[in-house]
Copies of this chain bind each other. A is one copy, B any other.
Amino acid sequence: MLQSKLFYKTNKNKTAGVDSVSHDLLTRAGYVDQLMSGVYSFLPLGFLVLKKIENIIRKNMQSVGGQELLLPVLQPKENWIKTNRWDTLDILFKVKSSGDKEYAMGPTHEEIITPLAKKMVFSYRDLPFSVFQIQTKFRDELRAKSGILRTREFLMKDLYSFHSTQADFEVYYEKLAKVYANIYKEFGIGKITYRTMASGGSFSKYSDEFQTLTEAGEDIIFICKKCSFAVNKEIKVENPACPKCQNADFEEKKSIEVGNIFPLGTGFSKPFDLKFTDKDATEKPVIMGCYGIGLSRVLGTIVEASHDDKGIVWPKSVAPFLVHLIQIEQNPKVAKATKKLYLDLQKQNIEVLYDDRQKNPGEKFAESDLIGIPYRVVVSERTLAVNSVEVKERSKASVKLVKIKDLTKLF
């Protein structure tokens, strides 16, 4: 991509009225644009990061047999009445059609996937299975805040699993917990993300959240100093000792929930009469689980975890481009060599943002640090004199000269 053509605008100055680093940096580096409170546009740079996150999640969901589908945003009121959530879920956006029909705007999709599964499931032989989608959700948050960390409209992956026995469910649930840990590792936030014991709400005693340590978080978790088991504050209050090792010495940390996995038991299969005929010829309700990850929140969390005072420092796995190619000086020789390198890198399927603009080097470097692409590759008359380019990794301080022919070995 030529930077002169990119649909974005950076801002050197701190964004006014922001309450998180990610909101500030993503806004002024040109990744997102706030349309109104809690509602954001993803500009081309932000969209590229979203797609990277989406692809990592998709690959991992497919690895546990998840089949992708797409469920509607508009949902019938009747389904929400059936689960008693139409009047009780305060974040539910409701919309009325011209024919005076009322719909919910899906904040989650149990009310849709359960009756849909009922059309496919008859016998124990039809179980287990899991389906997922990556789709826009709506929640009427009273307090939308922290940029894209808590919004009214956001991208979410939600997977639903269906089982004939509790034992089968539990095996799958633990498998998903492992896959989740792997996903956060791929996002570059594995070391600061904790599987955290949390309340199970009205469906089960406990659920598991995945909490990433960050000052921008709204949650408090307690990490056992002996065994590193983490519990949400709500659990700690009920249970002052570590549920795993009984130690009572915890570290208290601020964190943000970047995912959760949730035993639903028969909480949805019963109201929707989703049952199956078991081997013993009796009818039983299907046992369900749900497993969510908010993509836009993850994007913000990665920035909270990975930045410095100059800007974002993207992990390679989710960076919008791998290489930020910067041309210094406008003389034809440098321009020609840089353009050739740009085309060569693209031929090798290396994603490159090419700063072809007429700006001074200081301005280009400052913007490059703000945008946060992993490798900055600078071409100038001086570097070309020794058939080289100057390479700086965004996450490191050192700069080195690399022969052009050896450049791609770095990546």
Does the CB pair A69–B47 fall under 8 Å? yes
Q: Which residues of B contact A40 (CB under 8 A)?
A: 72
Given A36-B76, A41-B116, A47-B70: 12 more A-B contacts, CB < 8 Å? A7-B120, A35-B71, A39-B74, A42-B70, A44-B68, A44-B131, A72-B153, A73-B136, A73-B153, A74-B152, A93-B97, A95-B105
How many Å from the CB of A133 to the closest CB on chain B? 8
Dominant secondary structure at the A interface: mixed
Does the CB pair A69–B95 fall under 8 Å? no
Stoichiometry (number of copies): 2
The answer to whether the Cβ of A219 comes within 8 Å of any Cβ in the partner chain is no
The answer to whether the Cβ of A337 comes within 8 Å of any Cβ in the partner chain is no
The answer to whether the Cβ of A261 comes within 8 Å of any Cβ in the partner chain is no
Q: Mark A1-31, 1 if CB is under 8 A from B, else 0.
A: 0000111110000000000000000000000
Q: Please name the residue on chain B nearest to A119 by beta carbon.
A: B9
How many Å from the CB of A325 to the closest CB on chain B? 18
Chain A residues 65 to 108 lying within 8 A of chain B, measured CB to CB, are 65, 67-76, 90, 93-95, 97-99, 105
The answer to whether the Cβ of A393 comes within 8 Å of any Cβ in the partner chain is no
Chain A residues 32 to 51 lying within 8 A of chain B, measured CB to CB, are 33, 35-36, 39-44, 46-47, 50
How far, in whole Å, are A98 and B142 apart by their CA atoms in the complex? 7
How far, in whole Å, are A99 and B153 apart by their CA atoms in the complex? 15
Q: Are A129 and B5 CB-contacts (below 8 A) given A41-B116, A142-B98, A153-B72?
A: yes
Q: Which residues of B contact A44 (CB under 8 A)?
A: 67-69, 131
Q: Are A74 and B140 CB-contacts (below 8 A) given A7-B120, A129-B5?
A: no
Q: Are A98 and B105 CB-contacts (below 8 A) given A73-B153, A129-B5?
A: no
The answer to whether the Cβ of A138 comes within 8 Å of any Cβ in the partner chain is yes
How far, in whole Å, are A74 and B5 apart by their CA atoms in the complex? 28
